[in-house]
Amino acid sequence: MRRIRLLLTTLLLTSLTTLQAQKYVGGDISVLPKYEAQKATFFDKDGKSINDVLTFVKEQGWNTIRVRLFVDPSKDTDKNVCQDLEFVKQLGKRIKDAGLYLMLDFHYSDTWADPAKQWTPDQWKSLSDDDLYKKIYEYTKDCLEQMKEAGATPDLIQTGNEISYGMLWGTEATAKGNDKNRCYTNSPAANWERFITLLKEAGKACREVCPKAQIIIHSERTPKPDVLADFFDRMTAASLDYDIIGLSYYPYFHGNIATLEKALQKLEDKNYGKKIQVVETGYPSKWKVEGTTYDYTDTYPYSHEGQRKYIADLITTLQKHPQVSGLSWWYAEANAKGCTGSLAEGWYNASLFDNETGRALPALYELKAFDDGSTGIVSISANSAQTDDAWYSLSGRKLQGKPQQKGIYIKKGEKLIVR
């Protein structure tokens, strides 16, 4: 019996290299082609010119790039709202050709879609709910088919951006100020049924066209774990088909890192059986972001080092949670150095390049620590002399205490199955 047990343990440990969970780390660089067109100049930390930003970030350990997609951004005057399908196909092909994973972020709107703005695209506003179900399926399918044909097949797909309160609410002028189509914890069941049907139709298209891609459902309710749990409870009750819980976490809006950790713990305790990714994060390097509601400067000053320390501490926290498989910095490419157009003004001060020098900031290099390649179990062997008292997951991560999630774990040469 002991020989069988040791053989089983040896096989489990030997297979860790193949079973180790994929980790995704990188950033959203949806405006990069516009910066390039406006002659922005990018440099590494030592001032050496960067010829290709995608190649550079890959060399720094990034493996994933996130890109947003709007339905028809042509009427929006925001210089950052330009990502129509043709734009995204071209950028997506560059990303895939560079050997990086592509995360496609459907906004299902002509402009920014976030918890306060989920307005239906102009071309879809006259559609009934039944017609919208067909439209979101057809639109998602068509976009993905065109992406595939262009050599830009996404590896991860967000069916909606920060959809904490639903999506495709209607026309802003008529829907603003009322709760028609919005999904709160106390909203009518019909609102949730409508919303989840939209998600199911979008997800159906993803499975048909990109069966290997992972579907992400994205919320930013990290400061309110109970609201977050209610949201994903409803997804579970409706048997929604998806793979990853996506979160936004901006400390200057959402609170300290402990706030995020409470949300992560809540999601893990609920045992949804999904991986978790922080698909958006960021922190300033010189001065506060407009609209900041939480001052974290006692811990992380607005400086290059403060920004680096923030992401280092965030990574340390995320690595305590085995279900967390991804981390993405939002608007990482913003860089006004050398710009000759609209992007030279109104700097976004939480990017990973210095707007005055064009140099890559320390936080850009720090991100690679999220996927350091460590299995975390190099000292374990299948023998009775093993003294390590920790539990390890098959993803290769040392756990903080006894595992609570379903899965197979190893401790002192023995296997534990949590059902």
Cβ atoms of residues 66 and 27 within 8 Å: yes
Residue with tokens 């048909």: 208
> Vertex 381, ends 376 and 387: CA angle to 5°?
85
The residues annotated as belonging to the active site are 162, 280
Question: With contact defined as beta carbons under 8 Å apart, do 42 and 358 qualify?
Answer: yes
Locate tokens 């439209």: which residue? Answer: 135
Listed in sequence order, the residues at least 6 apart from 36 whose beta carbon sits closer than 8 Å to its beta carbon are 53
Contact in structure between 276 and 236 (CB atoms under 8 Å): no
Instruction: Calculate the dihedral angle through the C-alpha atoms of 117, 118, 119, 123, rounding to the nearest 10 degrees.
Output: 140
Helix boundaries (H) for 53-183? 53-59, 85-97, 129-149, 172-175
Region label for 203, one of left (φ > 0), alpha (ψ between -120 and 50) or beta (otherwise): alpha
Percentages helix, strand, coil for the chain, rounded to the nearest 5?
35, 15, 45
Alpha helices in 344-415 (DSSP H): 362-366
Beta strands in 139-264 (DSSP E): 156-159, 214-219, 244-249
In angstroms, rounded to a whole number, what is the distance separating the alpha carbons of residues 235 and 217?
A: 9
CA 278 to chain centre: 5
